[in-house]
Structure 1
Amino acid sequence: MQIIRTVVWVLVLFALLAFSFFNWKPVEVQLWSNLVLETKLPALVVISFLLGLLPMWLIHRANKWRMTRRVNALEAATTRLATPKEPIPTPTPTGEPANPVEPEPDKPL
C-alpha cells in the first residue's frame, strides 16, 4: 500500500512541476480597488488550492476527533458491562427472633 501512495504522490508532484514550468507567467490579482497583487500563476493556483483544502481538512480532523472519543466511550461502556459484578450478599433468615415478645390475650369488650 505504501508503494501505491508513493507513486501517486510522485505523479502529483510531476504534474504540479509540469504545470508550473509551462505556466510561469506573472498575473495580476486585484484585491481591492487600489491594491493589486502581482504573482506567478503556479503560486496563485497552489495558494488557492490550500485555502480550499484547509476548511475541509479542519472538518475532517474534528469528525475524526469526535468519532475517536465516541469509540473510546463505547469501549469503556462495553468493558464496564462485560466485567462480572460481585453478587450482593443477602441476609440469611433466622428461625426465631433474639428477643421474642408474647402476644397480648384478647380482651373482652
Structure 2
Amino acid sequence: MTAIRLALVALLAAALALFAFANWKPVAVLLWPGLELVLPLPLLLFAILALVYVPMSLLFNAQRLLLRRKITRLEETLARTETELSQARVELLRPPAATPPAATAPPGA
C-alpha cells in the first residue's frame, strides 16, 4: 500500500512540475480596486493550495487530538467500571456469613 501511495505522489509531483514549467506566465490578480498582484501562475496556485491546506490540516489535527483524549478518557472509565463490576460480582457470589443462632432464653428465667 505504501508503494502505491508513493507512486501516486511521485506521479502527481511530476505532473505539477510539468504544469509549472509549461505555464510559467505572469498572471494579474485584482485584490482590491487599485491593488493588483502579479505572480507566475504556479506560485499563485501554490499559494491558494497553502491557504486551503494549512487551516484544514490544523483543524484535522486538532480534532484528532481531541478524539484521542476522549478515547483515553473513555478507556479509563471502562477500566474503572470493569473493576467495579468484578468487585460487585465477587460480593454477590460470596456466601453469606453464617449468623450465630439466636440465643433463646430458658423458660422461666
TM-score, structure 2 as length reference: 0.71
**Cα drift, residue 71 of structure 1:** 0.7
> Are 1:24 and 2:8 matched, yes or no?
no
Higher helix residue share: 2
Q: Distance in 1 between matches of 2:24 and 2:67?
A: 43
Q: Distance in 2 between matches of 1:93 and 1:62?
A: 60
Bigger Rg, which one: 1
CA shift digits 1:57-91 (9 cap, x unpaired): 2221222112111110111011112224486xxxx
**Cα drift, residue 24 of structure 1:** 0.7
1:3-42 alignment to 2 at 5 Å?
3-42=3-42
1:13-92 alignment to 2 at 5 Å?
13-83=13-83, 84-85=86-87
Unaligned runs of 5+ in 1: 97-109
1:90-101 alignment to 2 at 5 Å?
none
Q: Distance in 1 between matches of 2:79 and 2:4?
A: 38
Unaligned runs of 5+ in 2: 92-97, 104-109
Q: Give the superposed CA RMSD.
A: 2.3
Residue 28 of structure 1 aligns to a residue whose secondary structure is strand
TM-score, structure 1 as length reference: 0.71
Q: Distance in 1 between matches of 2:3 and 2:68?
A: 28
**Cα drift, residue 93 of structure 1:** 6.9
